[in-house]
């Protein structure tokens, strides 16, 4: 695996970074540092630059794994959680080619729900639509923004796979219009999954795990070409397990990387 250089600050350890692509040969990566700033690597791979997307509005400080999504060229949306005492809120910031970078916005959380400060998963399934997912440790909750995405709307409770609790942050991916796949790591060391496809919701299912692997932390996922690929970190061997999921089924593959230091994220251009 390639190194993307040295960021201008110390990044927080064992926090899943966020990655998204606005188009061919362009990747943006977001990762929080130890001072609460959201650091941003961007450019045409492999020639990347780092900049600073700043801190959250006071009195909130960044917590957990961020997520990034792009619905098309010259548009990037970033989500993260902020904590203030026991309150955990969703924050959003975006960049577009016309107006540049916009400030962080506080989108709150689902009514009556105390969110787990583990992180957030977001994906774009088409132009002008981003879906994002958070958890209270028991269930997955869904929100959506449309149009210019200047505000978000909270949807329903997506529940959870029976017999499991949620470990880390949820993850989301989309392989095309009107398709969303949501994943989380379970307390059993497996990966759970649920999908939305053109108005139809699947039941939760358990993808299990690769052989003797035990997954921990937040999974990473990417969708392309009518398939989703979800990745989990095996804490024993510090390798990645990959599950490729298609409408006809899926299977685990082992040993994609060595000396993995934390949960991964993935994107496709």
pLDDT of residue 4: 65
Mean pLDDT score of the chain, rounded to an integer? 88
Nearest one of 228, 269, 267 to 249, comparing CA atoms: 228
Query: How far is 167 from 187, CA to CA, in rounded Å?
Result: 6
Q: What confidence tens digit (pLDDT) does each residue in 9-18 have? A: 888 888 889 9
Query: How far is 240 from 254, CA to CA, in rounded Å?
Result: 6
Can you list the domains of the chain with their CATH numbers? 18-209 (2.120.10.70)
Contact 238, 258 (CB under 8 A): yes
- Is 70 exceeded by the pLDDT of residue 5? no
Q: What confidence tens digit (pLDDT) does each residue in 192-249 have? A: 999 999 989 999 999 887 776 777 778 888 888 888 888 877 766 667 777 787 877 7
Contact 133, 141 (CB under 8 A): yes
Peptide bond into 46 cis (omega under 30): yes
pLDDT band at 257 (very low <50, low <70, confident <90, very high): low
Most confident range, picked from 16-30, 149-163, 216-230? 149-163
Which pairs count as long-range contacts for 138-144, CB under 8 Å and 24+ apart, including other chains? 138/165, 138/166, 139/166, 140/166, 140/170, 140/182, 140/184, 140/194, 141/109, 141/110, 141/113, 141/115, 143/90, 143/107, 143/110
Contact 192, 186 (CB under 8 A): yes
pLDDT of residue 1: 57
Query: How far is 65 from 32, CA to CA, in rounded Å?
Result: 8
Q: What confidence tens digit (pLDDT) does each residue in 120-152 have? A: 999 999 899 999 999 999 999 999 999 889 999
Nearest one of 222, 202, 201 to 264, comparing CA atoms: 222
How many CB atoms lie under 10 A from the CB of residue 15? Answer: 23
Task: Look at the block and give the residue holding tokens 């390639």.
Answer: 2
Contact 159, 139 (CB under 8 A): yes
Alpha helices in the chain (DSSP H): none
């Amino acid at each position: 695996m390639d190194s993307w250089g040295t960021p201008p600050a110390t990044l927080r350890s064992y926090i899943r970074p966020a990655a998204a692509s606005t188009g061919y040969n362009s990747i943006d990566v977001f990762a929080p540092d130890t001072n609460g700033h959201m650091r941003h690597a961007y450019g045409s791979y492999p020639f990347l630059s780092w900049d600073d997307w700043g801190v959250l509005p006071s009195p909130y400080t960044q917590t957990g794994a961020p997520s990034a999504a792009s619905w098309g060229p010259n548009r990037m949306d970033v989500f993260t959680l902020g904590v203030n005492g026991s309150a955990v809120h969703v924050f959003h910031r975006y960049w577009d080619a016309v107006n540049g970078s916009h400030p962080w916005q506080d989108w709150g959380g689902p009514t009556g729900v105390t969110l787990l400060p583990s992180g957030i998963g977001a994906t774009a399934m088409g132009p002008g639509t981003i879906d994002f997912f958070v958890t209270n440790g028991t269930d997955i909750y869904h929100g959506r923004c449309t149009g210019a995405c200047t505000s978000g709307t909270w949807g329903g409770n997506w529940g959870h796979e029976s017999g499991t609790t949620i470990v880390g942050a949820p993850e989301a991916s989309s392989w095309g219009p009107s398709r969303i796949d949501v994943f989380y790591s379970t307390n059993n060391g497996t990966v759970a999954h649920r999908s939305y496809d053109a108005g139809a919701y699947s039941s939760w299912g358990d993808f299990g795990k690769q052989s003797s692997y035990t997954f921990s932390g937040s999974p990473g996922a990417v969708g392309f070409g009518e398939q989703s690929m979800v990745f989990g970190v095996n804490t024993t061997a510090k390798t990645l397990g990959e599950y490729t999921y298609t409408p006809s089924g899926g299977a685990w593959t082992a040993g994609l990387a060595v000396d993995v230091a934390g949960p991964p994220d993935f994107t496709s251009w």
